[in-house]
Structures are given as structure tokens and as C-alpha cells.
A and B are shown apart, each in its own frame.
Chain A
Amino acid sequence: GAGVSQTPSNKVTEKGKYVELRCDPISGHTALYWYRQSLGQGPEFLIYFQGTGAADDSGLPNDRFFAVRPEGSVSTLKIQRTERGDSAVYLCASSAGTSWSTGQFFGPGTRLTVL
């Protein structure tokens, strides 16, 4: 497929468990972004990668959240010791670069529910 893909589409877990959310960007896109969208809100920035490195992780809420992009393509968002407040839709986006002339293209999201 040509778009950003995210797996799983839905994830239900219990409080205290560890989860991994995966994002596969558009082929050739060097920049990858993670956002979190709570019900009735706009997406909130978490972290973005330029290549393999995290260029800005200022949006990660605390040290339970971590993301990697080891080969500069697929990225995994990892959440340790999940809390009910982590329940949200986690969105991934990619772009061809950080230039203004490129838009960010979003995936369908992963809906995380922490019971």
C-alpha cells in the first residue's frame, strides 16, 4: 500500500502491562511522527524522527513512553506500565522531510484501551 500503516488497529490491555505500537511510513519518507488523540481533542505531538534519530521528543508525557526507529523506516512506540489515562488513539504520520513544502500524511491510528 502507498499510505502509512499502523498495527494493531485496536489494542486492549490491562493496567500495568507493556504495549508496543507499530508504524510503517510511506516508502522513502525520512521523517516520522507520533501523535496521541484523546476523545474530542486534536492530536497532540509526542515525538518525531528524522532518519533513525529522535529529533524532538518533547511531547512524550513521561519516561514510561519510548519510541525507536532503528533502521530509519518502521517505528515502534513502547509504553511501559500502562495506565488508564494512556487510553487514546495513537497516530503516526510521515513526511518526505522537515521542509515546509511537505505535508504530514497520517495513518489510521491504533486505538489503545487500558482497562
Chain B
Amino acid sequence: AQKVTQAQTEISVVEKEDVTLDCVYETRDTTYYLFWYKQPPSGELVFLIRRNSFDEQNEISGRYSWNFQKSTSSFNFTITASQVVDSAVYFCALRRNTGTASKLTFGTGTRLQVTL
């Protein structure tokens, strides 16, 4: 069975602070894929990043960075110099690497509130 845990239910920060959203996953598969999605108040899920389990290189995209550590089954997401527009619910998700199973297993999400 696959499971994704986002232990932080809600985080509040002041604009320009850095913030890290934690994600821990469980899977018996040796190869798999990890994702982060953003769900702003409008409700639509926005794809942010995917990572395959072969690649443990950290990735940076503008103010966003991701730290994948297979040894601890974690895929954490950091926003540097947060902005009010970053306020949203963020979901981490896991997907098996098989020929047919491509569903996403989501965590329960972390609500990020960025205030002025």
C-alpha cells in the first residue's frame, strides 16, 4: 500500500519568510514518482513538480526548491521569500511506476497562509 503523510496541517508565515513543507511517503515499490501540487482558493490543482525515484538531485525553480531524500522517504518543498500569492493548500502525491497503475495517492495537504 502507498501512503503520503503531510504532518503540518497549517502554517502561517509573514511575507518574505522562508517556509518548508514536509512530505513523508511509504511505498514498497523500488521505483516511483513524487509530485507537488498547489491548490489556491480558486480550487484548481496546479502541477508544480514531479520527481522520479532514480533522481535524488535537489531541484530549484525560482523561489521554489525541493529536497528529495530516499533514505528518509521524504520529499520536502521550500518556498524562499514567501509572498501573499503563495497562500494555498499544497499537496504532495505519490505514483507507482508500473505499466498500468498511474493513479496519484495524495497527502492531506498543508495550508500555507502568508500575511503582510
Contacts and interface: CB of A to CB of B under 8 A. Distances in A.
A-side interface mostly? strand
Contact of A48 (B4, B35, B103, B109): B103
Interface in B32-52: 33, 35, 37, 42-47, 50, 52
A68 to B, nearest CB: 18
Contact of A100 (B42, B46, B97): B97
Given A44-B106, A103-B35, A103-B50, A98 B100 contact: yes
Query: Chain B interface: which size bin?
Result: 20 to 34
Interface of A: 31, 33, 35, 40-45, 48, 50, 55-56, 59, 89, 91, 93, 95, 98, 100, 103-109
Interface of B: 4, 33, 35, 37, 42-47, 50, 52, 91, 93, 95, 97, 99-109
